[in-house]
Amino acid sequence: MSGVTLALDASTYTASVALVQGGRVVREATVAMRDPRHERLMPAVADTLGTAGMRDVARIVCGAGPGSFTSLRIAASLAKGLAVASETPLFAVSSLALLIAGTETAPPTGRWLCLLDAMRGEAFAQAFEVASSGAISEASDVRVVREEEVPALARAMQARTIGLGREVHAVPHARGVLRLATHASLQSPVDLASWEPDYGRLAEAQVRWEAAHGRALDGRSW
């Protein structure tokens, strides 16, 4: 990617921001998303941008999920707001891709099963292949699996696991855009009017509403 890229991800309860330029990470930050007193992501973005603000930013990249419903919505709203206000194109990339691409050191070559918490004893899972060149590509579709199924799935895919509490302990990080520069999702910007994150599943509140009312929730039900 040429120019300055502002990237952010909040698919877990730890959000990250990175400013990328010239093939390197210029500045980055991580913040907690579950603070009952303060919203931390916007101040982290402002601090990462510095006094120049959005002046030199050529593109914004937002982690698209799956993951925490509320955190993803906050990050997406912030990214879209900045994109509209500054007339800067917005790109979206899988947070599972940012999990393997965002490690502090380059991930070893081979197959990796990226895992994010899906609640209710389940996990979002997707396999990625890391080539000797460093290129990262999808090796499976995203699926939701029971936690007890993870070891067997990893063995079947001949993959190491990465995520919170896995073989490699990590969370998605915005700095991963640097290793995903040629990824297909970062070649075309999203439509700001229609884009929203891929939450991976229905929100807990919607699940409870539908269980209580015995029918699917639509826009007319609010």
* pTM of the predicted protein model: 0.89
Q: How far apart are CA 115 and CA 100, in angstroms?
A: 10
Architecture of domain 105-169: 2-Layer Sandwich (3.30)
Region of 173 (left: φ > 0; alpha: ψ -120 to 50; beta: rest) is: beta
Contact 1, 20 (CB under 8 A): yes
What percent of the chain stands above pLDDT 70? 88
**What does the mean pLDDT of the chain come to?**
91
Q: pLDDT tens digits, residue range 58-102?
A: 999 999 999 999 999 999 999 999 999 999 999 999 999 999 999
Mean pLDDT, range 19-45, rounded to an integer: 89
Look at residue 222 in the predicted model and tell me its pLDDT.
37
Q: How far apart are CA 39 and CA 24, in angstroms?
A: 28
Q: Is the pLDDT of residue 212 over 70?
A: no
CATH 3.30.700.30 assigned to 4-97+172-221:
no
Confidence of residue 34 (pLDDT cuts 50, 70, 90): confident
Is the pLDDT score of 220 beyond 50?
no
| Spans of all domains in the chain | 4-97+172-221, 105-169
**What is the average per-residue pLDDT within 8-19?**
96
Q: Which residues pair with 130 in a beta bridge?
A: 110, 136
Other CB atoms within a 10 A radius of the CB of residue 41 amount to 25
Determine the average pLDDT of the residues in 186-215. 76
Contacts of residue 217, Cβ cutoff 8 Å, sequence gap at least 6: 206, 209, 210
pLDDT of residue 21: 95
Half-sphere exposure of 30 (CA within 13 A, CB side): 12
Q: Within 10 Å of residue 6's Cβ, how many Cβ atoms?
A: 27
Answer whether 4-97+172-221 and 105-169 agree in fold: yes
Specify whether the CB–CB gap between 67 and 96 falls below 8 A. no
